Structure 1
């Protein structure tokens, strides 16, 4: 089946690496990503880097498609509970290197922007419990699939980081209680609340002192330095350039990155697109080259991806044209760059 963006999802963008993590988790659960997305879109998502974004509506549509293919209404809970830090990109590496659960929660709050821009989580301590309420950026109630996945992922992450499967969490949801609560009880282990004003997770405050099994101070410094760099880039880049980046990233493999096609995707005239880029102190060709270079450098780190495939994914009809462009951007041939990684 070919999915379409869900009309019932909240707006916003998420990291395409988060989308890639979801697809990998579904594959491990026996659901072929090829049954959910066209091959071209799969390649785009799998080739994404930490800066690449995808619409939240597409993420929800992938999950809806997986529920349909599997016939399992509880799939989002199961997928969330099974997600691993390594499937969260740079944020996952930060979490794995922390010393304690409390530190991991603090770092997750700081670097959540690297994963998505759909809402936050502000922990509070109340009656001996740490409560982590989930907020939604645009103020609208998102698909229940998002709440199921997000809370189950938090619960599963805590158990994975500590190596303690017996940890129990209480969970609050804003949708009505389903008839069968058995999967909820297995995923959270604590008290369950439905038809609530907020979506949130809670656990004993003592859990904050639990050590992270894979804590690594040296890795923590490296991961946090990379995360800080990326956060600064995201903070200084305007929303318009971020949207342009996403449009170009999606359009490259399809060969739809002419000025006119890009302007149409942004719902602008070509004249207005030119003006907006001038206001940002850049130009269309410069932005297209920037996106192509970023994607090329990411793909060249994977020895399984051929130079011909990279040229195709960047919208070039000839491999030689890609090689000439890469030498112009970096002063190195693609082969030289790959051998140094």
Structure 2
């Protein structure tokens, strides 16, 4: 049986526009690079077109090399627009306040991007709110720019909506300080906390309450309704197996693997019901877990530069050796052999 092509997730080709604009801002023509990745005008105009996360990371890295600008992700955020997030972005642009715009972007993230390993979140308290962004780690030259572009983009887009500059009270970033650390000065009055447990920025209640002068209540409600319908359709069309796969991604990590009981709790189902419904779909929990691991492992080895020990950790294996054995069982090759064969075929 041919294994399905593994994916870490995908995102709207709308994000390619901010990358292209950032490349232009550095005095380079992005079109040859985009065409090299199959992103011509027709592809970028296609309704609902998506780009895999690994391919997006390789494209971003190529753009950084082309422009010789390691901080290109921060520049991407500064030239980004809400409309590049598709329907969710257009809806956020009609929100009455910065608070509701941020909530909307995060609430409907699935409409413009999906990541099997985690998702963004919004956490408000009496003093303000955290906007959190999940990114694949460990970090390298291929994925730091993604975090930079999202956090910088959130602040730029919310500032544009409010018609005034918004700076974060605090910015936390998971990776260690890069060579371009000075480029983060515009994000917050405080120094960025690198090496943090989470990628996030903090907005004050004053910033959250800033109003959108272009807000039209009836248009806002109409767009919200359409987003809710789209999100419901996405959820309804997923099989139980697909829903479990979506849950397993974030749970696989650090030498531990989730069990049936843990997944049943998250799905709000009795364990016996989950087991029965999987049987009705012709599968078992262990098979879904193994297929998810296999799919993610194939993608990590083929589409990233992560060390095999790092991949083992990300997929919940007790050791790199256990991961190597499992990978050979799944693919008939060791991870090293598989990665070399894929590079050669490219």
Q: TM-score range by the shorter chain?
A: 0.5 to 0.7
Matched, 1:80 2:77: yes
Q: Where does residue 121 of structure 1 map in the other structure? A: 120
Q: Distance in 1 between matches of 2:69 and 2:22?
A: 15
Q: Is the 8 A contact 2:129 2:205 kept in 1?
A: yes
Aligned residues: 230
CA offsets 1:276-330 (integer angstroms, 9 cap, x no match): xxx9xxxxxxxxxxxxxxxxxxxxxxxxxxxxxxxxxxxxxxxxxxxxxxxxxxx
* Alignment check: 8 A CA contact 2:77 2:152 kept: yes
Counterpart-to-counterpart distance in 2, 1:20 and 1:230: 23
Are residue 68 (structure 1) and residue 59 (structure 2) matched?
no
Mapping 1:157-176, distance limit 5 Å: 157-165=157-165, 167-176=167-176
The TM-score with structure 2 as length reference comes to 0.59
Q: Distance in 1 between matches of 2:192 and 2:33?
A: 31
Other-structure match for 1:185: 185
Please give the residue correspondences for 1:295-314 in structure 2 after superposition, counting only pairs within 5 Å.
none
1:179-227 superposed Cα distances (whole Å, 9 cap, x missing partner): 4432100233433100111111112122221102321223213322332
3-state SS in 2 of match to 1:117: strand
Match of 1:37 in 2: 34
Instruction: Return closer, same or farther for 1:234/1:27 CA change in 2, 3 Å cut-off.
Output: farther
Counterparts of 1:83-102 in structure 2, within 5 Å, are: 83-102=80-99
Preserved contact between residue 26 and residue 33 of structure 1 (Cα < 8 Å): yes
Rounded Cα–Cα distance in structure 2 between residues aligned with 1:171 and 1:125: 15
Residues 54, 186 of structure 1: CA spacing in aligned structure 2 closer, same or farther, 3 A cutoff?
A: same
Structure 1 distance, partners of 2:18, 2:237, is 25
Q: Residue 188 of structure 1: SS of its match in structure 2?
A: coil
Preserved contact between residue 81 and residue 187 of structure 1 (Cα < 8 Å): no
Q: State the distance in 1 between where 2:224 and 2:21 align.
A: 25
Give the SS at the match of 1:200. strand
What TM-score, normalized to structure 1?
0.60
Structure 2 residue 114 is matched with structure 1 residue 105: no
Please give the secondary structure, in 2, of the residue aligned with 1:97.
coil
Gaps of 5+ in 1: 1-9, 243-278, 280-341
Q: Is the 8 A contact 1:129 1:204 kept in 2?
A: yes
Instruction: Pick closer, same or farther for the CA change 1:79–1:156 going to 2, 3 Å.
Output: same
Contact map agreement 1:169 1:188 (CA 8 A) in 2: yes
Deviation at 1:140, TM superposition (A): 4.4
SS in structure 2 of the partner of residue 131 of structure 1: strand
- Distance 1:238-1:122 versus aligned 2 partners, 3 A rule: closer
**Deviation per CA, 1:155-193, whole angstroms, max 9, x where unpaired?**
111211111125344211111113443210023343310
* Alignment correspondent of 1:205: 205
- How far is 1:238 from its partner? 4.1
Measured in 1, the distance between the counterparts of 2:26 and 2:68 equals 13
- What stretches of structure 2 of length at least 5 have no aligned partner? 1-6, 243-280, 282-346
- SS, match of residue 177 in structure 2: coil
Mapping for residues 193-272 of structure 1, pairs under 5 Å: 193-238=193-238
- The residue matched to 1:69 in structure 2 has which SS? helix
